[in-house]
A and B are shown apart, each in its own frame.
Chain A
């Protein structure tokens, strides 16, 4: 391995990149757009407030109390519906008409019924009487389901309080990370992992198929530059691209979305391993798939399952078991996990697992790249 030749090859590819406005634009813009997009989508995650339309047909003290209480949870923004809804059927029409997904109707007599039960309780008279509130909802709407389950848990609390029995089991909720972290902090490592993968994989495939088609690879084959020197120069070039996009993602995140990552040596380590693994895979693709279009199709075939199945966009927990198992053989899974651990959770076990898996993978792929790719053609 002659590093002068690697350096010479790296510097000309960088020069070409610097002089091409288009490629600069894409390397920097793609991750920035993703970051902006997902940053905006998930900006308010965790502080979500749901609108809850309430029709109080009762108008008594108790019905006002419960409405007020639901409002005080800060989960619901109570929208009171007026006289145009006179009964349950009206409420249904109202929902359809106003394209709402749910409405809570408090029937007439609620306050009296509630009082009666409380008095019985107070006097120690056993009773199985209940008072009802009615939730009218659109069953096809997930937000309505969410509202119902929140409402259920609130009412559950009210019921317990009303029985005067103290809770035996109390669930306290706390996130696994300190309170300083928002959803964007979980998302940013995934975006970094994915952008670096895409850049490395497609960058390598594009450069090499283009150079092959233009006959430049054939010319390089007649020089003392070895295939492994060229491979390494390519990987280092992709690493420069990866550093650019990682920095731009972090800057956008910190500047616009209060991203608050831990910065330590594991971040560059995982970025480097990501680049090695996927540039190597790109090199192998161009070795076996000669035409530019098929090579890109092959790269896509590798990229898309990784993007969706290794926990970049969706948490793995929601997936069927076999997909979860499958995710664990995908290299990007370990990059995702590793980067999240490095930037957010600092979980040592995950850091170690990801480091070991990715180092082995990068070495194997680099060796395969050197062994299987040759300047010579048949």
Chain B
């Protein structure tokens, strides 16, 4: 049984006239990548900053590394690493100087060049922060979050605003950190990011955790639909769906997508194609993703609301 490293109970954050976080509870286990998934304004950053001790909860019991966030701030800060949302740093310090500065704040004699290698920034070592691209800046943020060799690393929206390539680079760094045994608390509004990285996902919407589990578990629980897209097929396909009472959708160009409820139905669809001798170009079988889970749970799209400014 894995150790619980963060324990949140009945966390409430109330602002004057709105409730940002509405009595949420969850655990994060040691060594896992925990993803807090939700659109902007859902309460992700508020929650994570309360756990990081830089914001105060209205009520609730929050333990991190066995310590109460309200009582052991200094000790907690020494043992966690934080990359805040929209991380930025001093424009005219070099990458090396930036990491060195934060290392000095923690009184840490970490091997800075080793750290830069870990986040793949060796070549940018002597470049001024302001000259770096967005993806490189984010990696500086991750390096800075690691100067004190923390047990838990908080990454608040680490890939927001990055292009797909830079995003994948950051993901590689996160995977590497996980291999090194760090617990990673990730907030994101990209369901793909959660799918790729997270062992455990909590979906948050309007201050409430509406679902919590592994990626597969959540999909199985809330959106077990399997999309079977049959491309370049004849008119018989739609009839197969109708016979099985499944929803089908014409995608144009003779492409039809059938929504199967389980694996058996998928096999049945494929068998019917063969038995009825219906010719087709290709078949694409895809499970639902977290986006569809979110859509199903909230009736709202994650992406539209979550896109960066």
Contact = CB atoms under 8 A, between A and B. Distances in A.
Interface string B51-73: 01111100000000000000000
Given A5-B105, A8-B105, A375-B54, A215 B85 contact: yes
B105 A223 contact: yes
B54 A15 contact: no
Interface in B77-126: 77-78, 80, 82-93, 97, 101-102, 104-107
A8 B101 contact: yes
Interface of A: 4-5, 8-9, 12, 15-16, 19-20, 214-216, 218-225, 375-378
Interface residues of B, number: 31
A8 B104 contact: yes
B93 A377 contact: no
Interface string B157-174: 000000000000000000
Contacts of A215: 84-88
Contact of A222 (B54, B89, B104): B54
B144 interface: yes
A27 B56 CA distance: 39
A363 to B, nearest CB: 26
Contact of B102 (A20, A223, A375): A223
A23 to B, nearest CB: 10
Contact of A19 (B55, B82, B92, B107): B92
A43 B14 CA distance: 63
B54 A221 contact: yes
A19 to B, nearest CB: 4
Nearest to B15: A378
Given A12-B97, A15-B93, A19-B92, A222 B52 contact: yes
B68 to A, nearest CB: 15
Contacts of B15: 378
B277 interface: no
Nearest to B147: A223
Contacts of A8: 101, 104-105
A9 B107 CA distance: 13
Nearest to A12: B101
Interface in B38-58: 52-56
A222 B88 CA distance: 14
Interface of B: 15, 52-56, 74, 77-78, 80, 82-93, 97, 101-102, 104-107, 128, 144
Nearest to B75: A224
B78 A216 contact: no
Given A12-B90, A219-B144, A4 B54 contact: no
Contacts of A225: 105
B88 A5 contact: no
Contacts of B53: 222, 376
The majority secondary structure among interface residues of chain A is helix
Nearest to A16: B92
Contacts of A220: 105
A95 B101 CA distance: 72
A377 B80 CA distance: 19
Nearest to B83: A219
Nearest to B80: A222
A16 B93 contact: yes
Given A19-B128, A214-B89, A378-B56, 19 more contacts: A4-B107, A5-B104, A12-B90, A15-B93, A16-B90, A19-B92, A215-B85, A216-B89, A218-B84, A219-B84, A219-B87, A221-B54, A222-B52, A222-B77, A224-B74, A224-B105, A224-B107, A225-B105, A376-B53
Given A12-B97, A376-B54, A223 B77 contact: yes
Nearest to B52: A222
Contacts of B56: 376, 378
A5 B52 CA distance: 21
Contacts of B92: 15-16, 19-20
Contacts of B84: 215, 218-219, 222
A223 B88 CA distance: 15
Contact of A4 (B77, B104, B144): B104
Given A215-B88, A219-B87, A376-B55, A224 B101 contact: no
A15 B97 contact: yes
A378 B54 CA distance: 9
20 contacts: A4-B104, A8-B105, A9-B101, A9-B105, A12-B101, A16-B91, A16-B93, A214-B88, A216-B90, A219-B82, A219-B89, A222-B52, A222-B53, A222-B80, A224-B77, A224-B107, A225-B105, A376-B54, A377-B54, A377-B55
A51 B217 CA distance: 98
A12 B89 CA distance: 11
Contacts of A223: 77, 102, 105-106
A377 B56 CA distance: 8
B124 to A, nearest CB: 17
A224 B88 contact: no
B52 A12 contact: no
A216 B144 CA distance: 12
A224 B78 contact: yes
A225 B83 CA distance: 16
Nearest to A219: B84
A22 to B, nearest CB: 11
A20 B91 CA distance: 10
A230 to B, nearest CB: 10
Contacts of B106: 223-224
Contacts of B107: 4, 224
A59 to B, nearest CB: 77
